[in-house]
Amino acid sequence: MHASAPGKIILCGEHAVVYGRPAIAIPLNDVRARVSIIPGAPGSGVCFDAPDLRRRWLITSAPHDPLSELTLAILRRFGVQRMPDIEIAITSDIPIASGMGSGAAIATAIVRALASAYGRNLSAAEVSALVYESEQRFHGTPSGIDNTVIAYEQAIWFQRRSEPPHQIEPIAIAEPFTLLIGDTGVRSATRLPVGEVRRRWQEDPIRYEALFDAVADVVYQARRALAEGDRAALGPLLDRNQALLEEIGVSSPELERLIAAARSAGARGAKLSGGGWGGVMIALVEPETAQQVRQALQAAGATRVLETIVQAAA
């Protein structure tokens, strides 16, 4: 049995979203995690093989691993009484610890593959809820963005409320557009820049609230540009969001080098995506400029460059 799930990126609104402003997140249909379930040796139980994570483990030897717990929860949900003898093979195009939803994508692919193996038809809402529970075990208090975007494979508008449930709704995309994703190769746990922004906000709340309001204005304009299919407007909005993220203090020299290279090579706009201080950046490109922007990113030090087409959505 085989299944897959996309990665995701924040198109605009990161960091400000923590403080009640909206963000737009989109699935990366061409950048995916894949899971295959194959029969194992009799008596072997459940074995995970994840070469991209450089891990191989038995569910019995690591029962509290988030993926082990997720698998056990699904087997219980399906009424499986005896531990099956299967191997869960995991591969992924999605860079780890890059803000691209690697963990949620792998979890979604596991849920889908197990559902297929046991002949169960789970709705996107059921898959999302199972993955959210897994994200809670791993992250504590996840926003709900990753599991929703990835399970529904749909662009969403997300806004945190003081009390859950948060506002999560699909958004319209009138015309498809192409993004390049440049990986700096620098890994930074999201909690570090998030914690530093909180410290700065506490020290200077007036300045940071104004920055977050400016980010929110960009996000509202970006939603309008997506709904109207206006790529010419979307590019400068990404640039504006990047300038604000630099003021907020979450960019880095590696990110800015890639962003500058993309713009110089013809990208309509470019910005970091995710927590910052490393990780990835995104560039809005036209099909005819994608190759030269890709080459510029590689020349500027990108450890890899991924390409995805964001599809139109009603």
pLDDT digits (tens, 9 = 90+) for 136-195: 766 556 677 889 899 999 999 999 888 777 888 999 999 999 999 999 999 877 788 989
Report whether 29 contacts 311 (CB < 8 A): yes
How many other β-carbons are positioned within 10 Å of the β-carbon of residue 278? 24
Per-residue model confidence (pLDDT) at position 137: 67
Task: Show the DSSP H helices in the chain as ranges.
Answer: 66-77, 102-117, 124-139, 145-152, 191-203, 205-228, 231-248, 253-264, 290-299
Which residue is it, tokens 């038995």?
Answer: 58
Catalytically annotated residue among 49, 85, 93, 146: 146
Per-residue model confidence (pLDDT) at position 186: 93
DSSP 173: B
Q: Where are the beta strands (DSSP E) in 18-95?
A: 22-39, 46-50, 55-58, 86-92
DSSP 312: P
Per-residue model confidence (pLDDT) at position 161: 85
Which residue is it, tokens 């960019």?
Answer: 251
Per-residue model confidence (pLDDT) at position 145: 85
How many other β-carbons are positioned within 10 Å of the β-carbon of residue 140? 8
How many other β-carbons are positioned within 10 Å of the β-carbon of residue 206? 8
Per-residue model confidence (pLDDT) at position 57: 87
The encoded tokens of residue 191 equal 């909690």
Residues in the chain: 314
Positive or negative, the CA dihedral 72, 55, 109, 82 is: negative
Q: Is 30 a catalytic residue?
A: no
How many other β-carbons are positioned within 10 Å of the β-carbon of residue 242? 24
The encoded tokens of residue 10 equal 């924040």
Provide the CA 253 distance to its chain's centre, in angstroms. Answer: 22
DSSP 163: S
Per-residue model confidence (pLDDT) at position 138: 62
Q: Which amino acid would we find at residue 242?
A: Q
Residues in the chain with pLDDT values less than 70? 137-142
Query: Bridge-partner residues for 20, per DSSP?
Result: none
Per-residue model confidence (pLDDT) at position 219: 98
The encoded tokens of residue 107 equal 């979890």
The encoded tokens of residue 83 equal 């531990």
**Cα-trace Rg, the chain:** 20
Mean pLDDT, the chain, rounded, equals: 92
Cis peptide before 165 (omega within 30 of 0): yes
The rounded distance, in Å, linking the Cα atoms of 269 and 283 is 6
